[in-house]
Amino acid sequence: MINVEKYVQKNSKEELLKNLMENFSEILYVDQTFLNNTFRGELFYLPLRFNYQKDDNWLNNWAILEAPESSQLFIKERANIKIRHFIEFGSHSMPWQHIEVRDQFEEYFWNIWNVLKEYRVKKHRPIKSLKMFLDPKKNEQIINLLERICTNFKQINFLDTDIAEGVLLGKYRIYFKSGYDENGGQQNGVIIFDYLAKRDFQLERFKTNFTTTDARGDLEKGWFGDTLLEIFEYIEQNQ
């Protein structure tokens, strides 16, 4: 929580922008790193129970054995967890990266996951064909490019506008969706959310020509057709 009135009084817009630009190369997590730097020395740290990030496998089979003194804090907080935060802290540490269920929090995660899957099946229409709206030959070119430069490229239908998703070059998440061109005609296009991809490949040079919607109904902009092919060919050549 932030004392907004105190924050505004202490930090002018000009000072914040100046600090941001002067330390931009050192900012790792953008807003989080900047906030940490801004509030350094004025923070109150909540107990681990409000952001507990380790599983019982780590606690019982590593921490207690290898770091018995430090592990006592985790043992204490483990008994009163308020927020279990899943993060990738080691090999196969996320719930979906290993077969066994390691604690009741992972069990709860999978129970919620199954409820959401059932809801999705009931709510949304069947998966669309990847070959829709665009010229079949051009659409096939785009799909081939996506499959070549994306890992885990697969069909999805979480939203009515979803067609497929993948991880571009193993780093940047992208979505292949149905939507509209600048004239309101139906098209397939790609949305690239990751600001790092936009920065690394200077995607602002390519004018967006595709619009779709997200889960809240807000507009998302991306590319389709020749522009999209040009972007992927450029990325493939400059990776």
- Give helix 31-38 / helix 13-22 axis angle, nearest 10°: 110
Residue 128 lies in a domain: no
Task: Tell me the mean pLDDT in the region 70-78.
Answer: 92
> What integer pLDDT is reported at residue 83 of this predicted model?
92
Q: Which residues of 78-110 are buried (b: 16+ CB within 10 A; e: fewer)?
A: beebeebeeeeeeeebebeeeeeebbebbeebe
- Tell me the three state secondary structure of residue 31: helix
- Partners of 166 in the β-ladder: 174
Domain span at residue 88?
A: 48-122
Same domain assignment for residues 29 and 66 = no
Residue 43 lies in a domain: no
> What integer pLDDT is reported at residue 123 of this predicted model?
45
> What integer pLDDT is reported at residue 119 of this predicted model?
59
Same domain assignment for residues 105 and 151 = no
Residue 127 lies in a domain: no
- Partners of 151 in the β-ladder: 167
Same domain assignment for residues 64 and 110 = yes
Q: Which of 88, 122, 156 is the last residue of a domain?
A: 122
Same domain assignment for residues 140 and 229 = yes
Say yes or no to pLDDT of 73 above 90.
yes
> What integer pLDDT is reported at residue 152 of this predicted model?
81
Number of domains in the chain: 3
Same domain assignment for residues 34 and 55 = no
Same domain assignment for residues 158 and 186 = yes
Binned at pLDDT 50, 70 and 90, residue 135 comes out as low
Q: What is the pTM of this model?
A: 0.43
Task: Tell me the mean pLDDT in the region 87-110.
Answer: 84
Task: Tell me the mean pLDDT in the region 105-121.
Answer: 75
> What integer pLDDT is reported at residue 74 of this predicted model?
93
Same domain assignment for residues 151 and 211 = yes
Same domain assignment for residues 140 and 234 = yes
Q: Which residue did the predictor score with more confidence, 134 or 40? A: 40
